[in-house]
Amino acid sequence: MRFSRILYYREAELFMKIHSAINKPSLKRRDFIGQGSAVALSALGINAAEAASSKPFHLWASGDCHVGTDKKRGRESLAEAIRQSEFGDSKRGAPSFDWDIALHVGDFSGNQGSPKDDEGEEVVRQLAAMKKHRREDFYSLAGNHDASFANEERQWWFRKWLDPTGENTVVSGVDNARRRFPVSGTWERYSFRVGNMLFLIMSDRNDGGPPVGRGKRGGYPAGAVSSETFAWWKDQVESNQDSIIICAHHHMLRETTVASGPWEGFRKKADGGWKPYYHGYYPNGGPEGASYLYWLDDKPDAQAFEKYLAQHPGAIDMWIGGHTHTSPDDSYGGRSHVEQKWGAWFVNCSALTRYHVNVANVPMSRLLTFTPGSEEVLAQCYLHTNQHARAGWYEKAERKILLKKEFVAAKTG
């Protein structure tokens, strides 16, 4: 059965149950409105857990807000997107949309060196734009621009201000105990479950010093993970083949989506050299892999994930990343933002920034809708400005993703 039919019939069935029940003489409308949702549904003879398990699950995926860069130009890249999601944008004619959790795939900072506390404070301030969601509904990982220098405390800025595991609740506002879907792990790698979906979240490790990490200037763009993180990912994948497995890292894997191949971060100059395009050119920073996950510890172009997935097709269902900012119609390298390879789907969901890039950047994000009882996922593209097309849903970039298993929602109540 197609995604749209499943969604239509299930929502219609629930609506009719509620409509019929609130018109019963035994229950006044004001009583229904005044009660909590679980109590009210119970009074209607509708099981709250059943209602929750039939509700579509909406994952809002975004990345690369580069808050400091856009702030200098008078734009709140993160807060604006949050406000649009919750309340719409009447000025641009863009609608609001429902989401259950948000996943931001890193590069909160726009700093070209090690991020500083003032930008961390600004990130937390912009996250406070959420009025319909908890701070704990927002999940995060570190990108290359979020990295500390090698002579600083490891990834101190990300751990202090974004803090996915709630190590610094007073500063970050994250209390893991308040998460609807609690995380297990560390700031570098953690997991959480939503029904039969397992999320495996991995931060970039661009903090070890040259050539992998940051030098005197610039966050070297090539992606990196530790061998410990790869071993953890492999164990999680092999131990959970009964689950829908969704992985996330700041970077895409090699040759999976737009401009994610060797040397595709740049353009050739007339003299045969390289010039920055999607990414900055740093000759000593693994420039070949500037557009993808390139390093495993200090091994260049390791392709650890790629080799594993090639040998075990279908081992995961989806990889969500960002890093390369461009327009939703760009297909440089012969690949779009959403592609299938090795039996898995790859989704580049960036970027929220408008100004942190050398090419014309289009602020956008993705909404992924999972429907209980269906293998289909609707991947919609939301434009946050009018510069490329009218703000709101960009149907040309909409995709249908087919999972290997039906989504089973988490039962609550």
Same domain, 21 and 64: no
Strand pairing of 344-348 and 318-321?
Answer: parallel
Centroid of chain to Cα 143: 12
The amino acid at 151: N
Contact between 295 and 249 under an 8 Å Cβ cutoff? The reply is no
Same domain, 34 and 165: no
**Which residue has better confidence, 353 or 14?**
353
Same domain, 82 and 39: no
**Which of 135, 132, 191 lies closest to 163, judged by CA?**
135
Assess whether pLDDT exceeds 90 at residue 264.
yes
Q: Is the pTM of this model over 0.85?
A: yes
pLDDT in tens, 41-88: 455 454 555 556 789 999 999 999 999 999 999 999 999 999 999 999
Q: Beta strands of 203-312 (E only): which ranges?
A: 223-225, 244-248, 266-268, 274-276, 293-296
Same domain, 83 and 6: no
**Which of 108, 245, 208 lies closest to 163, judged by CA?**
108
Which of these three, 55, 76, 94, is where a domain ends?
55
CB within 8 Å of 18: residues ≥ 6 apart: 41, 44, 46
Same domain, 320 and 243: yes
Lowest mean pLDDT among 27-36, 166-175, 237-246: 27-36
Query: In angstroms, rounded to a whole number, what is the distance separating the alpha carbons of residues 117 and 198?
Result: 33
Which of these three, 18, 36, 55, is where a domain ends?
55
What is the CATH number for 158?
A: 3.60.21.10
- Is 410 among the domain residues? no
DSSP, collapsed to helix, strand or coil, labels residue 9 as: helix
Same domain, 15 and 112: no
The CA-based angle 21-24-27, given to 5 degrees, is: 90
- Residue position matching structure tokens 């997107």: 81
Lowest mean pLDDT among 25-39, 181-195, 196-210: 25-39
CB within 8 Å of 104: residues ≥ 6 apart: 62, 63, 65, 138, 139, 140, 141
Query: In angstroms, rounded to a whole number, what is the distance separating the alpha carbons of residues 241 and 233?
Result: 13
Confidence of residue 31 (pLDDT cuts 50, 70, 90): very low
- Is 127 among the domain residues? yes
Same domain, 50 and 177: no
Same domain, 160 and 199: yes
The percentage of the chain sitting over the pLDDT mark of 90, rounded to a whole number, equals 77
The percentage of the chain sitting over the pLDDT mark of 70, rounded to a whole number, equals 85
- Is 408 among the domain residues? no
Confidence of residue 32 (pLDDT cuts 50, 70, 90): very low
pLDDT value of position 49: 53
Same domain, 33 and 105: no
Same domain, 26 and 36: yes
Assess whether pLDDT exceeds 90 at residue 13.
no
Assess whether pLDDT exceeds 50 at residue 1.
no
- Is 41 among the domain residues? yes
- Is 195 among the domain residues? yes
Same domain, 162 and 29: no
The answer to whether the peptide bond before residue 210 is cis (omega within 30 degrees of 0) is: no
Assess whether pLDDT exceeds 90 at residue 373.
yes
Assess whether pLDDT exceeds 90 at residue 30.
no
Phi/psi at 99 (nearest 5 deg)? -145, 145
Structural domain containing residue 32: 1-55
pLDDT in tens, 114-156: 899 999 999 999 999 999 999 999 999 999 999 998 889 999 9
Give one DSSP letter per residue of 154-210, joined into a string. Answer: TTHHHHHHT-TT-TTHHHH---GGG-SS--EE-SSEEEEEETTEEEEEE---TTS-T
Contact between 212 and 224 under an 8 Å Cβ cutoff? The reply is yes
pLDDT value of position 27: 47
pLDDT value of position 211: 84
Judged on CB neighbours under 10 Å (0-12, 13-18, 19+), 57 is: buried
Query: In angstroms, rounded to a whole number, what is the distance separating the alpha carbons of residues 66 and 338?
Result: 22
- Is 411 among the domain residues? no
Confidence of residue 362 (pLDDT cuts 50, 70, 90): very high
CB atoms < 10 A from the CB of 95, how many? 14
pLDDT value of position 18: 47
Same domain, 225 and 249: yes
Mean confidence (pLDDT) of the chain: 89
**Which residue has better confidence, 3 or 260?**
260
Lowest mean pLDDT among 85-99, 119-133, 215-229, 323-337: 215-229
Confidence of residue 209 (pLDDT cuts 50, 70, 90): confident
Q: Structural domain tally of the chain?
A: 2
Lowest mean pLDDT among 170-174, 208-212, 307-311: 208-212
Confidence of residue 34 (pLDDT cuts 50, 70, 90): very low
CB within 8 Å of 317: residues ≥ 6 apart: 244, 245, 246, 344, 345, 403, 404, 405
Q: How far apart are the first and last CA of the chain?
A: 29
- Is 365 among the domain residues? yes
Lowest mean pLDDT among 42-51, 166-175, 202-211: 42-51
pLDDT value of position 284: 83
Phi/psi at 392 (nearest 5 deg)? 110, -150
DSSP, collapsed to helix, strand or coil, labels residue 310 as: helix
Assess whether pLDDT exceeds 90 at residue 112.
no
Which of these three, 9, 40, 55, is where a domain ends?
55
pLDDT value of position 151: 87
Strand pairing of 189-194 and 184-185?
Answer: antiparallel
pLDDT value of position 50: 55
- Is 412 among the domain residues? no
Strand pairing of 101-104 and 138-140?
Answer: parallel
